[in-house]
């Protein structure tokens, strides 16, 4: 999809065909989702690594609209693959460990049956007689291929963009055959804006006078102008505005000297013209129409309920990744998928990866250090034996006694949570608390976190973690979905205190809130005797002007808050972390840290 | 530019020509910026209202790419104008008071000379022989028209999108003739992304086989497909993604029954097809090429320095408005213009209007209640006699004594600022402090504010106010640009305290900071005796969980901060606003409000 993907290898490909491509042909008819059938289907594919004896290490890679089966190099002399950063020996999709299968899509033009294939009924290429195929049909062909390869269940299906649509569709149509799903830069259906661009692109092809009703094969000219225009529109949507600025502002009026008449004024135009022309050389316009329409017709539902119903059968564990500057498949669409998974209590992690690269980010190295490692960690965890606890990699303790205090805090919270309870940890950080809970019998464990690197760390701990801002981040969870919701040492950094606490009490039968106590004696004295803003004790370690804490409260303040908001206090624990024990007398003066177990008045605890 | 603009009146227009359009023809050659000339030029235009005897009430409206001279109705029976919401009796551009002139653009196809006009040299339409014209050439033709109308100086030039380019260009080429500029949804040059869409659109036209080198006039078919494709791409870029979702999600797969073959699957496609077809009926493809290229070539500079140099001659007062969801002319581009104006100390106000409507927002009623009133207030202030103080409309005092306290605060700050000083007020709110300073001799007065309605109020007070977040908002100001920078009762709500204070000290020779004192006796006692977070006194009136304040500091804390940051304290005033007088003894205990006058150590005060 990105120019970086194909540009360098195009000429080589035209010179020598893909050396490692295999193919298999099914002679029986393939019935299609929207009616009709194909009398036979050939699938071109490439494989990497070895299928294990248990046949449990297969990873299916689904390519994007302009991709093909050549996802990675087979050896150092091989042409680059379109996802070389992700797939290969010791790469996140590690071909030393996994058996990777990448087929060309049904309807494509790189070996798998498509509109350019010979229609047995006429002896000519299908052209526009090629039926409308759907993402489901593509998945059906992939399933046949996996049968052929002796793979009953996938360790994981991985795809971005329309490749992500296929990954989603696997979970809809063959849920039992997918253990893990990695969906990147994708959506449950296209935005109206993305649809609109596709419609314009398709119509540029269809209304090209050289289209000849799709039977342009063998003629001196096909719908080259239309296909080039469609590709150019596509290219604009694959890049972010920032990325285009970066790429073209420096020499805005110096178009590169390219051998086409397309554009001689603006650099960005000469770039697009070049991309369009190269694409026409390697891609079939009918395939573009077919694949683009399949993408546009993909629709798992436009409401949260419909989407949740579509994904209801999924038994997979999920890693959903979006990219902050992707405006073709914007992050909120990935979040919709994640919300639907949350609604069915599916194990899922999500990150909106900070990126300037737009939709193409999932193919580019720029942000790969972060999201590639998330894919690696996710697959590593999937590949461990079922039931075996994944190793918890703990970060080294910090240089101050702060970490002592935090452990004391966690000790008590862990004690407060009954065995077998399901727990949602708000502001879970790297997942230390959840990792501890995981070591004893537990129910569903989910973390919410805003920091990308902490999310990566939590995924490495084999936890399910959702990238979200607490202020509004619980909407996806149902009433009373968790036995326990924890807000540990985070309340003081929350903007919308009332909203977050109310949402906790809605989602959790019981809630545990811990916070530093502003009325702890030494803090009182700082203000009353020294006339200084309290700081430097326990959690209030930063100065007034650089702390991330924005809310300051005492135990008495929180008690009053609970009274006013009709919140029941089920239990109250006060700690002095300086001396390391619990405070039983005059807690508001003697404790620096408070733990409250609360629930909604009237609810059954 | 919006479909709402033309849709309803198109058929009427084809049936009856614009009734009120006038025209004037200049027989002398018009030399063009990029070389060549036009041997004669006709300008079509409409006027509204009456030119005053002093000829000082003329407002020039510049239309966007698909607009024309018919900006508003002339009477209730008249066809709707494309900017009826803005222009008319008692509208923001009040035709009862102002003489409004709206010419069709040079290169257009609605009466003014363009590629469809007869080329005197050949006796045929110009077609592609029409020379490349620039925004400057358009302005030149407008200037000739104003000469003809006897207007030596404009009260204001008003335009959005490419109309905004013209408004900017007036300031570059005829700065003495413009007293006020209202630039909406525009930029100093297009983004590479916007350029890219234009390039694709133009090439769809140029490569249409019915283009015939531009000489399609009189033929049965012109480059209709290409022009429709260009228009469809344009339409996508004029709407925001949110707006498209709103418009098409409900009946995504129910295309309206339109009489075109364009699209039968998706509603959004049938909408675009309709728009494209309608456009082909009313617009000339060569004009589209000409105007779109003029827009793309417009370039006041890609760096802050170049842009400031381009605008250096402007003598205008400015109102710059962008729209938050406009991704074709994104708000940061308007901010670039404003930054260039700030750099030359030009009087300017700016607001990024919160809108879901995308680029089209400036033509639509959705957000008009806010931005339309800004235009009204700006023009009202411009139209008052030079030197006369505009009436300060004060909001009613609030229901609590808070306003008493605030006035006391302002009293002292006003006293501290020497007569004639230039002042930047950070977090200026509705402009109360600046309005008071304006009543005595003063230098340049500028406010910065984040709240849209407060910005409107400040504009109504005849103040220059810039919409910006303080955290990073001072980058546009030069070192020592103001005599005095004020941060009044805002420090406690600032995230990046160090950054904001450092920037204040860079921009101002002297800085005045006022804030509530956390160590005020009653506040100390709340914590030390009652064990409660201090609140309810003076500024700390909200509860711990719902206050907008996120920084808590005492006078002693701020003194230490100044020592640590090597900031010189030039003066220190402590107030007790409860009793209403200054505190001279033990201020950190007895004052609830502190005012510091600070400067950078080593700087000359």
Tens digits of residue pLDDT in A129-152: 999 999 999 999 999 999 999 999
Q: Is B11 a catalytic residue?
A: no
The pLDDT confidence band at residue B263, using thresholds 50, 70 and 90, is low
Name the residue of chain A whose CA is nearest to B195's CA. A268
In the stretch 574-603 of chain A, residues with CB closer than 8 A to chain B read 588-589
Angstrom CA distances, B362 to A556, B135, B239, B349, stand at: 52, 20, 11, 17
**Inter-chain contacts counted by CB atoms under 8 A, chains A and B:** 202
Asked if B243 has any chain A CB less than 8 Å from its own CB, the reply is no
More confident residue, A399 or B324: B324
Residue B392 has pLDDT above 70, yes or no: no
Catalytic-role residue among B66, B161, B334, B488: B161
Residues in chain A closer than 8 A to B247 (CB atoms) = 192
Contact A545 B552 (CB under 8 A): no
Q: What is the mean pLDDT of chain B?
A: 89
Alpha-carbon dihedral of residues A532, A536, A537, A542, nearest 10 degrees?
110
DSSP A81: P
* Phi, psi for residue B434 in degrees, rounded to 5: -65, -35
Instruction: Identify the pLDDT of residue A546.
Output: 85
Residues in chain B closer than 8 A to A567 (CB atoms) = none
**Nearest-by-Cβ selection for B200 from A203, A232, A556:** A232
**Nearest-by-Cβ selection for A553 from B229, B523, B544:** B544
Residue B327 has pLDDT above 80, yes or no: yes
Alpha-carbon dihedral of residues B246, B247, B248, B251, nearest 10 degrees?
100
Catalytic-role residue among B70, B165, B359, B467: B359
Catalytic-role residue among B68, B137, B326, B367: B326
Instruction: Identify the pLDDT of residue B363.
Output: 97
Handedness of CA B193, B197, B203, B206 (dihedral sign): negative
Asked if B252 has any chain A CB less than 8 Å from its own CB, the reply is yes
**Nearest-by-Cβ selection for A327 from B241, B518, B524:** B241
**Nearest-by-Cβ selection for B533 from A232, A268, A553:** A553
In the stretch 529-568 of chain A, residues with CB closer than 8 A to chain B read 530-534, 544-546, 550-557, 561
Name the residue of chain B whose CA is nearest to A588's CA. B531
Q: Is A198 a catalytic residue?
A: no
Catalytic-role residue among A63, A359, A442, A467: A359
Residue B352 has pLDDT above 50, yes or no: yes
> How many angstroms separate the CA atoms of B320 and B331, rounded?
10
Contact A531 B588 (CB under 8 A): yes
Instruction: Identify the pLDDT of residue A15.
Output: 33
Asked if A327 has any chain B CB less than 8 Å from its own CB, the reply is yes
Residues in chain B closer than 8 A to A328 (CB atoms) = none
Name the residue of chain A whose CA is nearest to B262's CA. A203
Name the residue of chain A whose CA is nearest to B203's CA. A262
Contact present, B553 and B593 (Cβ < 8 Å):
no
Contact present, B286 and B107 (Cβ < 8 Å):
no
Instruction: Identify the pLDDT of residue B357.
Output: 96
Contact A193 B244 (CB under 8 A): yes
Asked if B122 has any chain A CB less than 8 Å from its own CB, the reply is no
Instruction: Identify the pLDDT of residue A578.
Output: 81
Instruction: Identify the pLDDT of residue A268.
Output: 86
Mean pLDDT of B389-409: 46
Residues in chain B closer than 8 A to A265 (CB atoms) = 199, 293, 296-297
The token pair at B478 is: 């030069």
CA proximity to A465, closest of A425, A501, A499: A425
Residues in chain B closer than 8 A to A519 (CB atoms) = 527, 531-533
**Nearest-by-Cβ selection for A263 from B203, B248, B554:** B203
Residues 6 or more apart in contact with residue B63 via CB below 8 angstroms: B69, B71, B82, B102, B104, B105, B159, B163
Instruction: Identify the pLDDT of residue A258.
Output: 47
Mean pLDDT of B394-408: 44
> How many angstroms separate the CA atoms of B168 and B217, rounded?
34
The pLDDT confidence band at residue B389, using thresholds 50, 70 and 90, is very low
Contact present, B151 and B51 (Cβ < 8 Å):
yes
CA proximity to A371, closest of A363, B58, B415, B14: A363
B13 CB neighbour count, 10 Å cutoff: 16
Mean pLDDT of B89-102: 97
Instruction: Identify the pLDDT of residue A263.
Output: 62
Q: Is B409 a catalytic residue?
A: no
Residue B520 has pLDDT above 50, yes or no: yes
Residue B230 half-sphere exposure toward CB, CA atoms < 13 A: 32
CA distance A487 to chain B (A): 15
> How many angstroms separate the CA atoms of B446 and B464, rounded?
5
Residue B8 has pLDDT above 70, yes or no: no
Contact B554 A533 (CB under 8 A): yes
Q: What ipTM does this complex have?
A: 0.91
Contact A561 B545 (CB under 8 A): yes
Contact A296 B265 (CB under 8 A): yes
Residue A136: strand, helix, or coil: helix
User: Beta strands of B370-507 (E only): which ranges?
Assistant: 423-426, 445-449, 464-467, 482-488
Alpha-carbon dihedral of residues B330, B336, B339, B344, nearest 10 degrees?
-140
Mean pLDDT of B261-268: 71
In the stretch 256-315 of chain B, residues with CB closer than 8 A to chain A read 262-263, 265-266, 268-269, 272-273, 293, 296-297, 299, 302
As a 3-state breakdown, chain B gives helix, strand, coil percent values, each rounded to 5, of: 35, 20, 45
Contact A527 B528 (CB under 8 A): yes
**Nearest-by-Cβ selection for B544 from A191, A209, A551:** A551
Mean pLDDT of B448-477: 94
Contact B330 A293 (CB under 8 A): no
Contact A546 B203 (CB under 8 A): no
Contact A528 B530 (CB under 8 A): no
Asked if B255 has any chain A CB less than 8 Å from its own CB, the reply is no
In the stretch 147-206 of chain A, residues with CB closer than 8 A to chain B read 191-193, 195-197, 199-200, 203-204
The pLDDT confidence band at residue B72, using thresholds 50, 70 and 90, is very high
Residues in chain A closer than 8 A to B242 (CB atoms) = none
In the stretch 449-478 of chain B, residues with CB closer than 8 A to chain A read none
Mean pLDDT of B139-161: 98
* Regions of chain A where pLDDT drops below 70: 1-18, 254-264, 385-407, 536-541, 602-605
H runs (alpha helix) in B351-418: 368-383, 402-416
> How many angstroms separate the CA atoms of B56 and B179, rounded?
10
Residues in chain A closer than 8 A to B330 (CB atoms) = 241
Instruction: Identify the pLDDT of residue B603.
Output: 53
Find the helix packing angle between B241-248 and B267-282, rounded to 10°. 110
Contact present, B404 and B585 (Cβ < 8 Å):
no
CA distance A368 to chain B (A): 24
Contact B533 A554 (CB under 8 A): yes
Contact present, A595 and A513 (Cβ < 8 Å):
yes
**Nearest-by-Cβ selection for B245 from A191, A534, A545:** A191
Instruction: Identify the pLDDT of residue B261.
Output: 52
Q: What angle do CA A34, A36, A42 make, to 5 degrees?
A: 100
The pLDDT confidence band at residue B269, using thresholds 50, 70 and 90, is confident
Contact B244 A191 (CB under 8 A): yes
Residue A315 half-sphere exposure toward CB, CA atoms < 13 A: 10
The pLDDT confidence band at residue B578, using thresholds 50, 70 and 90, is confident
């Amino acid at each position: 999809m990105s120019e970086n993907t194909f540009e360098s290898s195009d000429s080589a490909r035209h010179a020598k065909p893909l050396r490692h491509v295999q193919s298999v042909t099914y002679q029986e008819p393939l019935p299609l989702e929207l009616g009709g059938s194909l009398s036979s289907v050939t699938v071109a594919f490439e494989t990497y690594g070895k299928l294990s004896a248990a046949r449990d290490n297969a990873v299916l890679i689904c390519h994007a609209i302009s991709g093909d089966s050549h996802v990675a190099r087979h050896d150092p002399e091989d042409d680059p693959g379109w996802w070389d950063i992700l797939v290969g020996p010791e790469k996140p999709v590690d071909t030393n460990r996994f058996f990777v299968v990448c087929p060309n899509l049904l309807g494509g033009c790189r070996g798998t049956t498509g509109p350019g294939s010979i229609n047995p009924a006429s002896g000519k290429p299908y052209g526009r007689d090629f039926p409308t195929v759907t993402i489901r049909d593509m998945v059906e062909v992939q399933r046949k291929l996996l049968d052929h390869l002796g793979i009953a269940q996938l360790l994981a299906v991985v795809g971005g963009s329309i490749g992500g649509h296929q990954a989603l569709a696997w979970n809809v149509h063959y849920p039992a055959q997918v253990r893990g799903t990695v969906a990147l830069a994708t959506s449950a259906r296209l935005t109206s804006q993305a649809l609109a661009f596709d419609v314009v692109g398709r119509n540029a092809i269809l209304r090209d006078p050289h289209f000849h009703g799709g039977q342009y094969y063998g003629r001196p000219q096909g719908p080259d102008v239309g296909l080039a225009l469609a590709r150019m529109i596509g290219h604009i949507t694959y890049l972010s505005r920032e990325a285009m600025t970066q790429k073209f502002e420096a020499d805005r009026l110096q178009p590169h000297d390219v051998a086409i008449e397309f554009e001689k004024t603006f650099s960005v135009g000469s770039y697009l013209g070049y991309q369009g022309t190269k694409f026409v050389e390697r891609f079939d316009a009918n395939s573009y129409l077919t694949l683009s329409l399949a993408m546009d017709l993909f629709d798992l539902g436009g409401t949260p309920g419909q989407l949740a119903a579509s994904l209801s059968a999924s038994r997979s564990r999920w890693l959903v990744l979006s990219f902050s500057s992707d405006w073709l498949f914007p992050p909120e669409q990935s979040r919709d998928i994640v919300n639907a998974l949350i609604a069915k209590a599916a194990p899922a992690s999500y990150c909106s990866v900070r990126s300037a690269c737009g939709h193409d980010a999932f193919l580019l190295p720029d942000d790969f250090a972060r999201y590639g490692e998330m894919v690696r960690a996710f697959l590593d965890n999937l590949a461990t034996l079922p039931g075996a606890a994944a190793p918890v990699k703990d970060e080294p303790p910090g240089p101050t006694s702060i970490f002592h205090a935090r452990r004391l805090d966690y000790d008590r919270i862990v004690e407060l949570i009954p065995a077998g309870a399901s727990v949602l940890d708000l502001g879970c950080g790297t997942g230390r608390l959840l990792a501890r809970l995981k070591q004893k019998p537990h129910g569903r464990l989910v973390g919410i976190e805003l920091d990308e690197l902490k999310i990566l760390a939590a995924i490495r701990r084999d936890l399910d973690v959702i990238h979200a801002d607490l202020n509004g981040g619980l909407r996806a969870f149902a009433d009373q979905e968790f036995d326990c919701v924890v807000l540990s040492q985070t309340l003081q950094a929350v903007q919308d205190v009332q909203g977050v606490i109310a949402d906790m009490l809605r989602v959790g039968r019981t809630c545990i809130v811990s916070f530093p106590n502003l009325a702890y004696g030494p803090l009182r004295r700082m203000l009353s005797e020294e006339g200084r803003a309290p700081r430097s004790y326990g959690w209030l370690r930063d100065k007034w002007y650089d702390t991330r804490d924005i809310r300051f409260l005492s135990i008495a303040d929180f008690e009053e808050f609970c009274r006013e908001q009709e919140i029941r206090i089920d239990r109250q624990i006060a700690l002095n972390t300086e001396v390391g024990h619990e405070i039983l007398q005059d807690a508001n003066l003697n404790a620096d840290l408070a733990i409250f177990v609360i629930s909604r008045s009237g609810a059954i605890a």
